[in-house]
Chain A
Amino acid sequence: MSNSARRRIRGVAVLTAGALLGLGLTACSSGTSSTDSSSGSASDDTAAGAAALDAALEKGGELTYWTWTPSAEDQVAAFEKAYPNVHVTVVNTGGANDNNTKLQNAIKAGSGAPDVVQIEYQSLPQFVLPGDLLDLTPYGFADLESKYTAAGWGAVTTADGIWALPQDSGPMALFYNKTVFDEYGLTVPATWDEYIADAKKLHAADPSKIFANDPGDAGFTTSMIWQAGGRPFVSDGDTVTINLQDEGTKKFADMWNQLNEAGLLGDIPGWSDQWFTALGDGTIATVVIGGWMPGVFESGVPDGKGQWRVAPMPQYSAGEDVTANNGGSSEAVVKQTKNPELAAAFLRWLNSDQASIDVFLASGGFPATTADLESADFLGYESDYFGGQKINEVIVDSAKHVGEGWEYLPWQSYANSIFNDTVGKSYLNRSDLNEGLKSWQEQNVSYGEAQGFTVKTS
């Protein structure tokens, strides 16, 4: 995983996929050790919990919110206007990696953590597992479930509680530079075979062009494995199964090997200055990435205006329709908070109140709320940057076909940090990605065992 502090949104996790949807989540709250004691009087009555939040908002107080969402300042300004008694200090943590490091340190130190914090879906388990986050069930948050997509809600809940509220999501799509495609007579690929054929055609025509840029990126690889049907990580309590040679993982690796071993993958690190330049000047022809990318294009790649278009993610065989998520964040309340009710109330407003979501959408964010995903305004939005294309139609369609049952590791951010030590070598040597994936698995198995998990490999 690239260490760029600018990385805005990364990874998506489903803490424990499947089983959590539709189960009575409120029922799970009673008796869990992680329920905050100060709210004990309300823990069995979600209506009372919700009312307590309203009271807290009236009473007011001070909160700190750590985030790297571009619209955070504006959202907080709108919040303070609606609830003048509450003052929220926004701290921009710069990006997911720095944010995680700072949060981890503050939690370790026992003080200095914010009340509310942005956490990527894929990093949630790292904080949920040791009990660093506040269970939001006692405050009536279960009633909010219907507002979010199943994948989003699944990513922030476990059988033990509700740990965060979804902010955005990243269903994957194919972004391509139409100017380059037209110039070299490329057709928009519907399958990965066509994608590879296009890559070869462009390379033959102009070797300085990069059809696909992938220097080795954990977030991208896991999302691609997700689409291919691989489910390499499965957690069940303290037992974790890691199999980076399951059918879907191999399917992805074998397909991507055709580009990697042929030297057709560009090695420009994502989120670097070079990357933004290469996206703007037609060097990079395609990006397969999460649906939040249009916002990044507009703010980071002004030169690409009018050139880029969005198409559905390529499939393994024609007629299929399976996608995956890539990136996405949630906000959570840190257990250290001195004012859990006020923090929860702010969080509830931040990620479920329409006034807040409207500010978020205006900045180019891709929502996790179903009402916004299905609204005519959102679907019909014609993006100037994308030459007037109705980009949200494509991305929302992708959101509906995200493969089910994907899970990340409970230590995904560490796993990602050693991705380039292992799989990165296969990219560097242009050799079989399966070998790199095997070595990534080995190191994760020993890390998991050192962390006290029971790790299985099949």
Chain B
Amino acid sequence: MSTAAAPPTLRRQRRSFVGLWFVSPFLVVFAFVLITPVAYSIYLSVFRDRLVGGRSFVGLDNYAQLFADPKFWDGLGRVALFLAVQVPIMLALALVAALAIDSGRLRGSSFFRIAVFLPYAVPGVVAVLMWGFMYGDQFGLAANLNDLIGSEVVQPLTPQWILIAVGNIVTWEFVGYNMLIFYSALRAIPVDLYEAAAIDGAGSWRVVLSIKLPALRQAIVIATIFSIIGSFQLFNEPNILRTLIPSVISTYFTPNMYAYNLSFAGQQYAYAATLAIVMGVVTAVIAYVVQLRGSREADLR
């Protein structure tokens, strides 16, 4: 290499070095809170801890075991079903609420907005306990309902109903949150669009279909991704209800509950880490597909 070429190389190196300083606060935090735990989980997942014999390297055995584990598939199937049914219902309700508030035809819309949002402010544990009491078929609201109609029809805490019961709690908790996302997106629509629509003689439904919904597309994609992540991480609601009905909700009701019980009841930290990594990958892939699809369709318009 010629000596003449050296100075620019040096300068280039120097420039990138300075840039690093600017991003270093972020990188340090990023490395500490994201990279390290993930790397450690991956490290854990290739070992196996035993009460007899201690820790040993097992390569990908944990992964092979997981993919052949009916309990894992049982939990994953359950959250997938939950995702397919509960998320559309919740987002549709949130959308309707946001459009209603935004329409300006609602009396006391600010009260309505706060009322719908309020459940989100209730701590999850409290919310589940509250619903747990209502669901009780001996002392709860469900018992009163059954008395009223004179049958035993309403039994939310039985194996047939439990997923719906959990879905109801989650919907109650998060409709307001999603409504707020939609509502703020609606507020960002320029007023001249509405004026133009009015001049063209568009009615309310035409405005909703041609202006509001297209403008909401990105917000809907984001809310969907949050909800997908939330569904795959389903834990609090079933785990707290489990104290009331330990035989109805199994220790592997959702993948997160399974991971929790594997590590804290069974001391199978490595296997739990394996499960966590697989679930992380599954969630990321599905969320990414949704995002890709959502933004591509937006581009096509």
Which residue numbers of A lie inside 8 Å of B, CB to CB? 1-4, 101, 104-105, 108, 126, 129-130, 215-216, 238, 267-269, 272, 274, 277, 410-411, 413-414, 417-418, 420-421, 424-425, 427-428, 447, 450-453
A385 to B261, CA, bound (A): 39
**B246 pairs with A410, CB closer than 8 A:** no
Residues in chain B near residue A428, CB distance under 8 A:
159, 247-248
Q: Given contacts A277-B139, A418-B251, are A130 and B243 in contact (CB under 8 A)? A: no
Residues in chain A near residue B248, CB distance under 8 A:
428
15 more contacts with CB within 8 A, not counting A126-B267, A274-B139, are: A2-B243, A4-B243, A104-B264, A130-B51, A267-B247, A268-B138, A269-B246, A272-B243, A413-B265, A417-B261, A418-B251, A421-B250, A427-B247, A450-B50, A451-B50
Residues in chain B near residue A413, CB distance under 8 A:
265
Q: At the interface, yes or no: B244 with Cβ under 8 Å from chain A?
A: yes
- Which of A3, A126, A130, A420 is within 8 Å of B250, CB to CB? A420
Q: How many A-B residue pairs have C-beta atoms within 8 angstroms? Tell me.
A: 75
A-B contact pairs, 14 of them (CB 8 A): A1-B246, A3-B246, A215-B246, A216-B246, A238-B52, A272-B244, A277-B139, A417-B265, A418-B251, A418-B265, A420-B246, A420-B247, A428-B248, A452-B52
A267 to B244, CA, bound (A): 10
Residues in chain A near residue B279, CB distance under 8 A:
none
Q: At the interface, yes or no: B294 with Cβ under 8 Å from chain A?
A: no
Q: Given contacts A104-B264, A428-B248, are A269 and B243 in contact (CB under 8 A)? A: yes
What is the distance, in angstroms, from B270's C-beta to the closest C-beta of chain A?
Answer: 11
Q: Given contacts A101-B264, A274-B138, A417-B266, are A410 and B244 in contact (CB under 8 A)? A: no
**B52 pairs with A451, CB closer than 8 A:** yes
- Which of A108, A268, A421, A453 is within 8 Å of B51, CB to CB? A453
- Which of B138, B246, B261, B265 is within 8 Å of A424, CB to CB? B246
A84 to B90, CA, bound (A): 61
Binary contact track B130-161/A, C-beta < 8 Å → 1, others 0? 00000010110000000000000000000100
B56: nearest chain-A partner, CB-CB:
A452
Residues in chain A near residue B251, CB distance under 8 A:
417-418, 420-421
**A452 pairs with B244, CB closer than 8 A:** no
- Which of A215, A272, A450 is within 8 Å of B247, CB to CB? A215
What is the distance, in angstroms, from A330's C-beta to the closest C-beta of chain B?
Answer: 20
Q: At the interface, yes or no: B245 with Cβ under 8 Å from chain A?
A: yes
**B51 pairs with A452, CB closer than 8 A:** yes
**B246 pairs with A452, CB closer than 8 A:** no
Interface residues of B in 226-248 (CB under 8 A from A): 242-248
A102: nearest chain-B partner, CB-CB:
B264
A414: nearest chain-B partner, CB-CB:
B266
Q: At the interface, yes or no: B53 with Cβ under 8 Å from chain A?
A: yes
- Which of B48, B51, B159, B245 is within 8 Å of A269, CB to CB? B245
Interface residues of B in 87-126 (CB under 8 A from A): none
A105 to B267, CA, bound (A): 9
Q: At the interface, yes or no: B252 with Cβ under 8 Å from chain A?
A: yes
A424 to B243, CA, bound (A): 13
A97: nearest chain-B partner, CB-CB:
B265
Q: At the interface, yes or no: B269 with Cβ under 8 Å from chain A?
A: yes
A105 to B269, CA, bound (A): 10
Closest 9 pairs between A and B when the two form their complex, measured CB to CB: A424-B247, A452-B52, A452-B50, A417-B265, A420-B246, A452-B53, A451-B51, A428-B247, A414-B266
Interface residues of B in 46-62 (CB under 8 A from A): 48, 50-53
Residues in chain A near residue B53, CB distance under 8 A:
452
**A129 pairs with B246, CB closer than 8 A:** no
Residues in chain B near residue A418, CB distance under 8 A:
251, 265
A420 to B245, CA, bound (A): 9
Most buried by A among B138, B139, B246: B246
What is the distance, in angstroms, from A216's C-beta to the closest C-beta of chain B?
Answer: 5
What is the distance, in angstroms, from B146's C-beta to the closest C-beta of chain A?
Answer: 13
Residues in chain B near residue A277, CB distance under 8 A:
139
What is the distance, in angstroms, from A264's C-beta to the closest C-beta of chain B?
Answer: 15
What is the distance, in angstroms, from A452's C-beta to the closest C-beta of chain B?
Answer: 3
Residues in chain A near residue B250, CB distance under 8 A:
420-421
Residues in chain B near residue A414, CB distance under 8 A:
265-267
Residues in chain B near residue A427, CB distance under 8 A:
247
A333 to B32, CA, bound (A): 34
B239: nearest chain-A partner, CB-CB:
A3
What is the distance, in angstroms, from A99's C-beta to the closest C-beta of chain B?
Answer: 12
Residues in chain A near residue B244, CB distance under 8 A:
269, 272
A101 to B261, CA, bound (A): 10
Residues in chain B near residue A130, CB distance under 8 A:
51
A269 to B241, CA, bound (A): 11
**B51 pairs with A129, CB closer than 8 A:** yes
B242: nearest chain-A partner, CB-CB:
A3
Residues in chain A near residue B245, CB distance under 8 A:
269
Residues in chain B near residue A101, CB distance under 8 A:
264-265
A129 to B138, CA, bound (A): 43
